[in-house]
Structure 1
Amino acid sequence: MDPSRVHDGMNADGRAGLPPGAPPRPYFDTRTGYAPVNGPAAGVTALTRWAPLVQDALGFGFGTYTAQTVALAQTSLAAPLLVPRRRLRRLRLPPPYRSSHAYAPGFVCGTGAADPDGLCDAARAVVAAGAHLTPRRRTLIRWFDRPAASIADLAFRMLTDGGARLADYVVAELAINAFAWDATVQVWAEKLRHDAARPATLIPSILRHTPAGATFTPAVPPPPTPDYPSAVAAYCHGIAHILRALGGGALNLTIPLAAGQVGDGLPAVAGAISFDNLESLATACGESRVWGGLAFPAAVDADRTLGLAVAKEVLRTVACRAPGTPGLPPCEPGGGGGGSP
């Protein structure tokens, strides 16, 4: 095993950075120095920055509540698996809010206060997207919430349904798994750099004068991570690009689902979800983050850009590792890549 995978700095046993005898905190961030500027004690002091949610730990309203803590922030410092770090770090995204200083913590839409970054339009778009969710959309929100069990699993269909050669399938699996790791590293670097608020905390604040805004709740619990960019959207667009490049464009994208397979009793009865092509699947994946109230549209758009960029870098690197594989670009001199340099 690559030693960098064993000692990747993620603090898996939870002992790093704590005094002797302290209870371990697995994956506790001891490296990045990240700390949210907002929180249960301090309140919201920076409107556009991420704020941890306070959640009912048991789900029964018995008075046991926990505040979210950003987990796996140190993932941003992990060694890339395939794409050299210097190439990953070039894939920087523009800030989601260029005028964050213009928003006071008590900003409310519709009161005449300036809204240079369009927070109110973005908030209303998320509220509208989730106002009338169909059973299909509710199912997709949960299905895409686990991309490793949804879109990434489609690679196997290239072998079983698409008639791909075993060697080409192995290359596709290599590319997809390397992409998933390297994209996660860069997504986390961007999440920490921008530290953007999620709809779950921003919408009830800036639309609190409207019934829909004041009671806004995402369709599934949001993860304890900043909003921008949306990781799930990056995975879907990047994996779709890799599949398409390596011969998966003709896959039958009708996916059978058992009743209750994705959780919360969805789908209500056994059936299937279908997509016309990989592009429509990836688009639905990104949009599902907005339907479910998990991300703002700008976060989804940014991660489409980032996911495609990382996927192209992965294919460029794999081209020198598996020359002759149909769909790969030509191997460039020095393009073999590999890990952290």
Structure 2
Amino acid sequence: MSAFLAALALAMPTPPACIDPTGISNPALFSLPSSNPAQFNPANPMANSILLSVLLAVAVPTLVTYETPIQGRLALRVTLPLATMAAAYHPSALDAFARESMSAARRRCGSTVDYAAGDALFVHRQVALAYTLAFTVDTVFPEANKGLLSSILTSWGLDMSICDTANCSDVSTPWGLARTAVDELEDFFKHDGFNADGSLSRDFNRVPYEDWRAESYSPVNSADRYKRKRLWQPLPEHDGRGYIANQQHVTPHIGWTARPFVLTNDEVCDARLAPPQYVLNAEALLVLSRTGALNSTKKMEVEFFDNKFTSLIPLLVQYTARLGVNADSFHFIWLDVATAAAIYDATIVGWKEKVRHDLVRPPSVIQSQFRDETVMSYRGPSEEPGDIKGSDWEAYIRIMPHAEYPSGSSCLCRAFVEALVTFEGITAAAPVPPMGAGPLVQPFAAGSSSVEPGKTPDTDIVLTFASWDEVVHVCGESRLDGGMHFTAAVPDGERLCGFVGGRTANYFLELQGGNVPAYAADISDKVLMENDTRQGRRRC
């Protein structure tokens, strides 16, 4: 029998080592950005990069309008097709799902790690990158500025509607690879346990991202009845135009139903925190003290780190540009997807713990326990710190609609940084390389605050970050300074999610070397994915 199997194996056709790139007969037809890191201008990072032009102009402005856990999901949806595209032009890398035969069948003949501008295969790759981004943004963000997206492509000599006339099922072409990479990823995200289209809970009038489980989450406290003092209470919100509503906990189900990308289910379940030993009145006094001490620098730190994709990503772009890393290179794309996957998996871990502990936010405690007392603290936008009734107190910025513990910001910032430093082979505590370049910087013009426009900061200021550990530290401390968390949430968020970044980076480093990691998500098992999500199967 063994001899027969050996003979059969020899008779089987050998998968091709590479595929000849087709579709482009005249590279001179395209006027693509040069992506020259020597020309990188932090004030205009889109000028020399296909990737940054589309992401920063079209994708990110739409992404940041979503709630935090959904932003992480959308970022992974954007970056995974790019990883598949980039792997096809790399001499050894497997695609993001570690599919050896699929990766071999798509690898371009002549692929290399470094490409010379003007080389025919380099142009082929850049066209594939542009179309991958365009198709991804068009699919993931139907509400994005498609006119702007189309005009960007047109300026490069590309046609957004190319699949109407060209064969986009032929992966040897740049547009065929791009269309295929984007479409196949949708299978994973249609069954990822987020209930993104609302189809798991309703047949009609669907509510995206709704908790559809039979035992769905319901807060113990209501917006107008705060009885269980340690447990989360929905907070009132308003749009300043007459609409007032009470919060509902965002995606409380994902800690149990969302599919992690790099982590196993066991790793998600095993990441647990003991309940923090809060003395709530003492914690509330600390919140009042810290928000009462807010100055221009601390306020801009709070605003800067309020969204991880308009803080961490610009710092990553600045760091790689300083190293001379091409913003459209394999290195940058895979560093980007590694950090995006770290944020995605860390969100699932963090949300599981948020719902499991279900702890109260500072406004509920302060407005209840100090209701009729006069306290000295922050008094609202453009107001100087001073005396305020406890019932009137609010945090510096919006408190997100999910439980207090652990801090999602410290969790995600630590996971992101650990993914970055592991992938780069550097140390988070050391000065940001290259040596002698100085800290990473984020300037703010006088009056540029979104909370206190025209007033804060009172002069031009520059935030500086000497190390990646300092980025994480300021990210976490800003949540305390702004009044969104009690003390244990920040260090415990870091401790919970740090391992996610290292795991994620090592996963992509394995793929880069052509190795199959011990665990990879099976994109082909649609039946299992469908059963898991339909049944709302509990992971833990």
TM-score (norm 2): 0.53
Cα pair 1:96 1:194 within 8 Å, conserved: no
- Report the counterpart of residue 3 of structure 2 in structure 1: none
**210-219 or 186-195: which moved more?**
210-219
- Report the counterpart of residue 148 of structure 1 in structure 2: 309
Alpha-carbon deviation of 1:269?
A: 5.3
Q: Deviations over 1:147-176 (max 9, x none)?
A: 111013322234311234744333321210
- Report the counterpart of residue 40 of structure 1 in structure 2: 223
Residue of 195, 200, 210 corresponding to 1:11: 195
Residue of 304, 320, 324 corresponding to 1:159: 320
- Report the counterpart of residue 25 of structure 2 in structure 1: none
- Report the counterpart of residue 320 of structure 1 in structure 2: 510
- Report the counterpart of residue 175 of structure 2 in structure 1: none
- Report the counterpart of residue 72 of structure 1 in structure 2: 251
Cα pair 1:4 1:79 within 8 Å, conserved: no
Partner SS, residue 17 of structure 1: coil
The whole-number CA distance in structure 1 between the counterparts of 2:193 and 2:268 is 18
Amino acid at match of 1:320: E
Alpha-carbon deviation of 1:24?
A: 3.3
Partner SS, residue 66 of structure 1: strand
Q: Deviations over 1:272-320 (max 9, x none)?
A: 2212222122111101101111111111111111221221222343342
Alpha-carbon deviation of 1:216?
A: 2.2
Cα pair 1:38 1:52 within 8 Å, conserved: yes
Are positions 1:306 and 2:496 aligned together?
Answer: yes
**276-285 or 263-272: which moved more?**
263-272
- Report the counterpart of residue 412 of structure 2 in structure 1: 235
The whole-number CA distance in structure 2 between the counterparts of 1:91 and 1:262 is 37
Partner SS, residue 512 of structure 2: coil
- Report the counterpart of residue 105 of structure 1 in structure 2: none
Compared with structure 1, are the counterparts of its residues 132 and 179 closer, same or farther at alpha carbon in structure 2 (3 Å cutoff)?
A: same
Cα pair 1:259 1:268 within 8 Å, conserved: yes
The whole-number CA distance in structure 2 between the counterparts of 1:228 and 1:176 is 23
Residue of 357, 367, 391 corresponding to 1:194: 357
Which runs of 5 or more structure 1 residues have no equivalent in the other structure?
98-116, 325-330
Partner SS, residue 321 of structure 1: helix
Alpha-carbon deviation of 1:270?
A: 4.8
> Which 4+ residue blocks in structure 1 deviate beyond 6 angstroms?
none
The whole-number CA distance in structure 2 between the counterparts of 1:163 and 1:199 is 44
Cα pair 2:339 2:505 within 8 Å, conserved: no
Residue of 89, 92, 97 corresponding to 2:269: 89
Write out aligned runs for 1:264-279 (5 A).
264=451, 265=453, 266-267=456-457, 270-279=460-469
- Report the counterpart of residue 286 of structure 2 in structure 1: 125
Which runs of 5 or more structure 2 residues have no equivalent in the other structure?
1-183, 376-389, 427-431, 523-528, 530-538
Are positions 1:253 and 2:440 aligned together?
Answer: yes
Partner SS, residue 253 of structure 2: helix
- Report the counterpart of residue 101 of structure 1 in structure 2: none
Cα pair 2:297 2:461 within 8 Å, conserved: no
Aligned Cα root-mean-square deviation (Å): 2.7
Amino acid at match of 1:129: R
Amino acid at match of 1:59: G
Amino acid at match of 2:413: C
Amino acid at match of 1:33: S
Are positions 1:223 and 2:400 aligned together?
Answer: yes
Compared with structure 1, are the counterparts of its residues 87 and 258 closer, same or farther at alpha carbon in structure 2 (3 Å cutoff)?
A: same
Cα pair 1:316 1:335 within 8 Å, conserved: no
Task: Number of aligned residue pairs: give it.
Answer: 309
Amino acid at match of 2:400: P
Compared with structure 1, are the counterparts of its residues 82 and 334 closer, same or farther at alpha carbon in structure 2 (3 Å cutoff)?
A: closer
Cα pair 1:54 1:66 within 8 Å, conserved: yes
Partner SS, residue 397 of structure 2: coil
Are positions 1:177 and 2:356 aligned together?
Answer: no
Alpha-carbon deviation of 1:229?
A: 0.9
- Report the counterpart of residue 113 of structure 1 in structure 2: none
TM-score (norm 1): 0.81
Cα pair 1:318 1:336 within 8 Å, conserved: no
Alpha-carbon deviation of 1:13?
A: 3.1
Cα pair 1:179 1:238 within 8 Å, conserved: yes
Identity %: 26
The whole-number CA distance in structure 2 between the counterparts of 1:316 and 1:189 is 24
Cα pair 2:372 2:391 within 8 Å, conserved: yes
Cα pair 2:261 2:520 within 8 Å, conserved: no
- Report the counterpart of residue 235 of structure 2 in structure 1: 53
Compared with structure 1, are the counterparts of its residues 162 and 295 closer, same or farther at alpha carbon in structure 2 (3 Å cutoff)?
A: same
Compared with structure 1, are the counterparts of its residues 261 and 182 closer, same or farther at alpha carbon in structure 2 (3 Å cutoff)?
A: farther
Task: Judging by fraction of residues, say which structure has more helix.
Answer: 2
Cα pair 1:152 1:176 within 8 Å, conserved: no
Alpha-carbon deviation of 1:4?
A: 2.5
The whole-number CA distance in structure 2 between the counterparts of 1:54 and 1:87 is 35
- Report the counterpart of residue 29 of structure 1 in structure 2: 211
The whole-number CA distance in structure 2 between the counterparts of 1:132 and 1:189 is 33
The whole-number CA distance in structure 2 between the counterparts of 1:11 and 1:253 is 38
